[in-house]
């Protein structure tokens, strides 16, 4: 991809999401977080593919077999839950959550960093407060099993722990990136 195409792509991204101008970590930390993002997105995509296969199996069984397969609906529901849980942090990092952008485009680079740090701090505090309760909730499933698959519900309820742990991790990262962006010199100061 040429530099002109990259510049056009960056400009299009910035016009869609003004918060994408807050720089991400580079170097070793950036590479590690890119790898972590890839792992969680790959797992979420695999869950999505498994949902499609499961639903296709359910539909095919209803059309071509005299009985329907009961466990497919339950499995697709659990896969959907984990797909959302595994992708929640990456979605937050890529600023793909639903948000109202009333004033983001008018903020300078430092204020965008401060805004990102504030939002990530609030999400992180919430995730930190909820995480122990999510663990208690997951432990409630230790003596329960799912109706058709007979999977211990601990594994299903553990998705809440995964969700809030990833939100805590990614909010800490976003908060640090926002703080670093606040402290960086502006573009004008770098040019002179």
> What's the rounded Cα separation, in Å, for the pair 59 and 53?
10
Distance, in Å, from the CA atom of 38 to the CA atom of 20, rounded to the nearest integer, reads 18
Q: pLDDT value at position 184?
A: 78
Q: What pTM did the predictor assign?
A: 0.82
Q: Give pLDDT, residue 162.
A: 97
- Tell me, what's the pLDDT at 12? 67
Quick one: which H or E segment has residue 161?
A: helix 153-183
Residue 36: give the domain boundaries. Answer: 3-191
Number of domains in the chain: 1
> What does the pLDDT profile of the chain (192 residues) look like in tens digits?
677 887 777 676 666 566 666 777 788 888 998 899 999 999 999 999 999 999 999 999 988 988 878 899 999 999 999 999 999 999 988 877 766 677 777 788 888 888 889 999 999 999 999 999 999 999 998 889 999 999 999 999 999 999 999 999 999 999 999 898 888 776 554 443
């Amino acid at each position: 991809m040429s530099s002109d195409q990259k510049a056009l792509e960056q400009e299009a991204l910035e016009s869609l999401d003004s918060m994408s101008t807050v720089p991400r970590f580079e170097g070793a930390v950036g590479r590690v977080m890119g790898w972590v993002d890839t792992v969680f997105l790959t797992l979420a995509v695999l869950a999505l593919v498994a949902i499609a296969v499961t639903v296709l199996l359910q539909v095919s069984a209803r059309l071509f077999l005299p009985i329907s397969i009961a466990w497919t609906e339950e499995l697709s529901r659990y896969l959907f839950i984990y797909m959302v849980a595994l992708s929640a942090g990456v979605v937050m990092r890529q600023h793909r959550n639903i948000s109202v952008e009333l004033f983001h485009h008018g903020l300078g680079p430092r204020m965008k960093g401060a805004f990102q740090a504030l939002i990530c701090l609030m999400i992180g505090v919430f995730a930190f407060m909820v995480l122990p309760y999510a663990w208690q909730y997951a432990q409630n499933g230790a003596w329960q099993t799912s109706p058709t698959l007979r999977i211990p519900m601990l594994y299903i309820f553990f998705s809440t722990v995964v969700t809030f742990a990833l939100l805590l991790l990614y909010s800490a990262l976003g908060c640090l990136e926002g703080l670093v962006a606040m402290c960086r010199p502006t573009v004008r100061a770098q040019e002179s």
